[in-house]
Amino acid sequence: MKAGISSISIYIPPLYLSHDDLADARAIPRDKFRIGLGHVNMAIVPPWDDTVTMAANAAEMAIETAGIDKDEIGLLIVSTETGVDQSKPVASFVQGLLGIGHRTRVYEIKHACYGGTVAIMNAINWVKSQHHRGKKALVITSDIAKYGLNTLGEPTQGAGAVAFIISDETEFIHFLPDLNAFYSKDVYDFWRPNGYLTPIVDGKYSIDCYLEALDFCTKDLQDNLIRETGKELLDFVDYFMYHLPFPRMAYKAHCRLLATLNPTLAEDAINRMYEESFTEKMKPALMGSEEVGNIYTGSVYMCLMSLMEEKSESLIGKNIGIFSYGSGCGAEFLIAHIGRGMKQQAKHLNFNKQLKRRKKITMEEYTELYSEQGASKTIKREDVISTDDEFSRYFFTGVNEHKRQYAKNRN
Ligand code: CAA
């Protein structure tokens, strides 16, 4: 057994907006969102959820799935680009809510959507070092992607959290870290200046930056793989997943990867290659992005959850290529190997179950939530979820003397 991920859990807020309703309200053809971007629905955060509650909900499920006690955790990292405080880390709130002990290293990481991968790699290095003293790491990605009403980014919003238990011995997910390819560059493609509630984005340029990073990382990963294993990327990797700000990005990204690996092929040949591999190697990973939208730091790991819901135990023995991108920008292309632990994890995915329990909101409710910065007179917790809901366990109750207040349900 080797170091890696020993459990993974997702939390999706219990409200959603249909992209068809959004398109109609904005007088945009529905196909632009459905086909041009690939979206169906997007998650909307209710007044009682925020980055902290989503992180705590996902984390508690990951701890239960791993079957460990909270006092076995010695490192807690939250990666987010939508934290609730400029100084106090989301990780500290989570530590308090979950009752994780004081002999724990607790911090927050930010690098736009790439931060989750940095946190996972830091945690793996920690459990491999002598510092971990037999303890495990809890890593959480949690974000609310919000661009503003009537903006070009509006259809690419979403919210959710993904949590991981990382341990020095697991049979679930191992990375092949000698292969990882990295890229970073100082660019302004998407950013949120201090004091801004929503980001500023140069949308088309952000896609160019993403694809440039992918191009660079693909070449390095291919070289590293050939050097270490003698095999080529397309032969070695069974499924590809990419950071998905919107589902159609998978098409753009995979075509770019194929073109990078086959520089002499014309565009129509690349498109044919894409069509041949799409159903088997890509489609099973898209469900989350189609239904939830962008969850920034957790986006690429929501693809992994989608793939697991779809393929379950058949993933054992498979290699997954994971391309993580964060604006600003930073990127990493890594390969994960799925082991026998998938059998146990398959019993606890709960992704489809959470999607099925969601309540659809109207454009009026969406607009009210947005304009009131998350407050609502019409959406009441008791009308949406039961008081002992098994997924929404922690909830935000308000701010008292500048301090955010939280509570836990009966579950
Ligand atoms: N039927 C079918 N398709 C249609 C259509 C219709 N009626 N009308 C338009 N389309 C297609 C367009 O042809 C286009 O497809 P291609 O890209 O394949 O050409 C697609 O719909 C999008 O339309 P536009 O080109 O007009 O794009 P837009 O101006 O609406 O902007 C966006 C799209 C740039 C993604 C914008 O939503 C945005 O800025 N989003 C936020 C930023 C973002 O997601 N950036 C991604 C890379 S950065 C990153 O990954 C980090 C992160 O998470 C933010």
Q: Is the pLDDT of residue 81 over 90?
A: yes
pLDDT digit string (tens) for 329-365? 999 999 999 999 999 999 999 999 999 999 999 999 9
Identify whether the C-beta of residue 165 lies closer than 8 Å to the C-beta of residue 136: yes
Domain that holds residue 302: 2-408
Identify whether the C-beta of residue 7 lies closer than 8 Å to the C-beta of residue 65: yes
Q: What's the rounded Cα separation, in Å, for the pair 116 and 114?
A: 6
The model carries a pTM of: 0.97
391 alpha carbon to ligand 1 midpoint, in Å? 32
Give the chain's domain count. Answer: 1
Which CATH number belongs to the domain containing residue 53 in this structure? Answer: 3.40.47.10
On the 0-12 / 13-18 / 19+ scale of CB atoms within 10 A, 283 is middle
Q: Is the pLDDT of residue 410 over 80?
A: no
Q: pLDDT over 70 for what percent of the chain?
A: 100
Q: pLDDT over 90 for what percent of the chain?
A: 91
Of 174, 167, 140, give the one whose Cα is nearest residue 10.
140
As a residue count, the chain comes to 411
pLDDT digit string (tens) for 5-25? 999 999 999 999 999 999 999
213 SS3 class: helix
Give one DSSP letter per residue of 35-103, joined into a string.
Answer: III--SEEEE--TT--HHHHHHHHHHHHHHHHT--GGGEEEEEEE-SS-S-SSS-HHHHHHHHHT--SS
Is 331 near ligand 1, meaning CB less than 6 Å away?
Answer: no
The protein residue whose alpha carbon is closest to atom 21 in ligand 1 is 36
Alpha carbon 84 to its chain's center = 18
Higher-confidence residue of 277 and 394: namely 394
pLDDT digit string (tens) for 251-267? 999 999 999 999 999 99
Is position 113 annotated as part of the catalytic site?
yes
The residue-averaged pLDDT of 186-208 equals 96
Determine how β-strand 239-242 pairs with β-strand 403-408: unpaired
Q: Is the pLDDT of residue 131 over 90?
A: no
The residue-averaged pLDDT of 304-324 equals 97
Question: Kind and range of the H or E element at 113?
Answer: none
Instruction: Output the pLDDT for position 132.
Output: 87
Which residues on adjacent β-strands are paired with residue 16? 43, 360
Is position 243 annotated as part of the catalytic site?
yes
pLDDT digit string (tens) for 216-245? 999 999 999 999 999 999 999 999 999 999
Is 296 near ligand 1, meaning CB less than 6 Å away?
Answer: yes
Q: Is the pLDDT of residue 1 over 70?
A: no
Instruction: Output the pLDDT for position 411.
Output: 63
Question: Tokens standing for 280?
Answer: 């088997």
The protein residue whose alpha carbon is closest to atom 30 in ligand 1 is 152
Q: Is the pLDDT of residue 192 over 70?
A: yes
What is the rounded average pLDDT for all residues in the chain?
Answer: 95
Q: Is the pLDDT of residue 167 over 70?
A: yes
Instruction: Output the pLDDT for position 366.
Output: 96
